[in-house]
Structure 1
Amino acid sequence: MTGYEHLHYAVAGGVATIRLDRTAKLNALTSAMADEQLPELCRRATADPAVRVVVLTGTGRAFCSGADLVQRIDEVTTGADATRLEQPLANFVRAVWELPKPVIAAVNGVAAGGGMSLAAVADFRVVAESARFVPAFVRRGLMPDGGLTYTLPLLVGRSAAARILMLGTPVDPATALRLGLADEVAPDAELDQAVADLAGQLAAGPAVALSFTKRAVQRAAASSLTQQLEFESWGQRVCLGTRDFAEGRAAFAEHRAPQFEGH
């Protein structure tokens, strides 16, 4: 396992796991973790052809409790350049959003504030029964950041998102599953296996097709039908030239399961 003091990185079976490990602070993000280290690990996963899927998770009883308010907020609000407010508090989610590979948030515990933003920006959320989502911003006199005003309405709808964010209402796993914030809820002891099962299915898929599918789904809300049709046509032309398409076509003709290579 490699990485940093509070962010670990490991690859096995086509799955890269990025694990937050700052248990004394419930995996709260320092400026270095958010602005430098997490983006660097995302770039590493992007560049590694052996990585087909990325899992984000936490150590201990928290997924991520958001920004380290003592260190990170003071650093930004005392900055001489007021424009620093526009980037350091929220930009860490962009590295996850821009990963061209499927991302699973394994929500092992509380995901609060920016930690909820981090979970919401993933493609899938597998949630432990003891976990919860806590949109703590409004209770601190803040508006949500980390893209949560963008991702949460896409997941749960505008009205439900507004209620959660404006009231600061914690969301338990059962409610998250009902609303669409969680894709799967697992007993705590079975979370790792549930994540491994989903990651394994994705890792066995056609990597280029999955990448284009992810990008198409991400852009759908801001695109017209015509724009989506054009994007799909571009992506399909690329997929038609891959070895995975050739394998998928052969497997269909031979009545067998395809064995995709990711090319």
Structure 2
Amino acid sequence: MTGYRHMHYTVADGIARIRLDRPDRLNALTSVMADVELPELCRRASADPAVRVVVLTGTGRGFCSGADLGERIDAVTTGADPTRLQQPLGSFVRAVWDIPKPVVAAVNGVAAGGGMSLATAADFRVVAESARFEPAFVRRGLMPDGGLTYTLPALVGRSRALEILMFGTRVDAARAVEIGLADRVVPDDRLDESVTEFAGRLAAGPALALSFTKRAVQRADGGDLAGALEFESWGQRVCLGSRDFAEGRAAFAEHRTPVFEGH
């Protein structure tokens, strides 16, 4: 376990489990969680020779509902300069992507916005039947970030990724497996068991060979995640200053459909 308020970390049988723990907010990411705690735990798992596989999951009904709109969005909006590239907003996914060991996302519930980015940054996604992927960005007047414009097309193809992202299409567990967004779907009450079995098979494999295999496949994917993060960050900061985002945020708070004006 860790002393972090909203993150838990355990290691057993070669498997490190990183669990987001804000169930009352569907594990929405605060700035501390995204910028400090998650990266620290990913580095810890990377450096620990006892860890051969990493499992990322959430507590309760949500895997991760993205950024905490009441805290993180205000923090990144303050003082933003949309005319230049800055520290990528979704750079927390780099911490997951850069783990040189197999990473399994145990998607126990909704993976929305940055939570979907987090899940697609993992190497595998084992999904509970009640879980769903929800790229909510466009409904808030925003573009995707967290590397989702890089990771999602690699999983489902370019045109399908564009449809999901531009329409904000919700993808349930069964459909996620069908289109390649998830690797397998299991009953909710068997998620932990199934993930432990899956991760255990990886942990029993040749760690060095698996690490090199992972990194080789990442390099062969084409493009560059760092470049995608930088471009997304630039576009997102422009979106954050737009009237459409203000309308999207207000509509979210007021439980209504946003009316976007295109500026």
TM-score interval for Structure 1 and Structure 2 normalised by the shorter chain: 0.7 to 0.9
Structure 1 pair 3/87, CA: closer, same or farther in 2 (3 Å)? farther
Once the 2 structures are TM-superposed, how far is the Cα of residue 85 of structure 1 from its aligned partner? 7.2
Contact 1:77 1:85 in 2 (8 A): no
Aligned equivalents of 1:75 and 1:174: distance in 2?
36
Alignment of 1:157-168 (within 5 A): 157-168=157-168
Alignment of 1:241-260 (within 5 A): none
Once the 2 structures are TM-superposed, how far is the Cα of residue 80 of structure 1 from its aligned partner? 5.7
Once the 2 structures are TM-superposed, how far is the Cα of residue 24 of structure 1 from its aligned partner? 1.3
Look up the match of 2:232: none
Among the aligned pairs, what percent are the same residue?
77
Give the 4+ runs in structure 1 shifted more than 3 A.
80-86
Structure 1 pair 85/35, CA: closer, same or farther in 2 (3 Å)? farther
Alignment of 1:113-132 (within 5 A): 113-132=113-132
SS in 2 for 1:2: coil
SS in 1 for 2:16: strand
Structure 1 pair 208/170, CA: closer, same or farther in 2 (3 Å)? same
Alignment of 1:129-168 (within 5 A): 129-168=129-168
Contact 1:61 1:109 in 2 (8 A): yes
Look up the match of 2:171: 171
Larger radius of gyration: 1
- How many residues matched? 223
Greater RCO, 1 or 2 (C-alpha within 8 Å, sep 6+): 2
Once the 2 structures are TM-superposed, how far is the Cα of residue 76 of structure 1 from its aligned partner? 1.3
Aligned equivalents of 1:113 and 1:84: distance in 2?
23
Contact 1:3 1:9 in 2 (8 A): no
Look up the match of 1:249: none
Structure 1 pair 181/78, CA: closer, same or farther in 2 (3 Å)? same
RMSD: 1.5
Runs (5+) with no aligned partner, structure 2: 224-263
Look up the match of 1:73: 73
SS in 1 for 2:150: helix
Aligned equivalents of 2:121 and 2:207: distance in 1?
20
The superposition leaves residues 136-191 of structure 1 with CA deviations (integer Å, 9 ceiling, x where unpaired) of 00000000000000000000000110000000000001110010000010000000
Once the 2 structures are TM-superposed, how far is the Cα of residue 39 of structure 1 from its aligned partner? 0.4
Runs (5+) with no aligned partner, structure 1: 224-263
Q: Which amino acid aligns with 1:115?
A: G
Q: TM-score, normalised by structure 1?
A: 0.82
Q: Which amino acid aligns with 1:195?
A: V
Aligned equivalents of 1:119 and 1:11: distance in 2?
20
Look up the match of 1:18: 18
Structure 1 pair 204/36, CA: closer, same or farther in 2 (3 Å)? same
Once the 2 structures are TM-superposed, how far is the Cα of residue 19 of structure 1 from its aligned partner? 0.2
Look up the match of 1:56: 56
Look up the match of 1:205: 205
Contact 1:113 1:144 in 2 (8 A): yes
